[in-house]
Structure 1
């Protein structure tokens, strides 16, 4: 029984691995809220910290 069980488990493992390799996941990797905020801050560093000077020039 143990020999059969071991052989069966090895074969099912191989089948599962082959199935996973044949059908890769297309789901994007999860990015945490903190990481998203950090990436957004890096992408727009000037927009939030720079004061609006267009009104001063018009006066």
Structure 2
């Protein structure tokens, strides 16, 4: 009985591991605190450049009119 139980449990464990590999987690990838700060700084600079270019375009169109 013990031999059958051991074989059954090892095969069941292999099956569970294979099944777990098929179903990946839906958790988002971990982003470190430093990486989040860097991304925030990058997005802030891009937002500022977009706002500055919009303001400059507005001034240019007012000057033509």
Q: Which TM-score bucket, shorter chain as reference?
A: 0.3 to 0.5
Q: TM-score, normalised by structure 1?
A: 0.47
Structure with greater Cα Rg: 2
Q: TM-score, normalised by structure 2?
A: 0.44
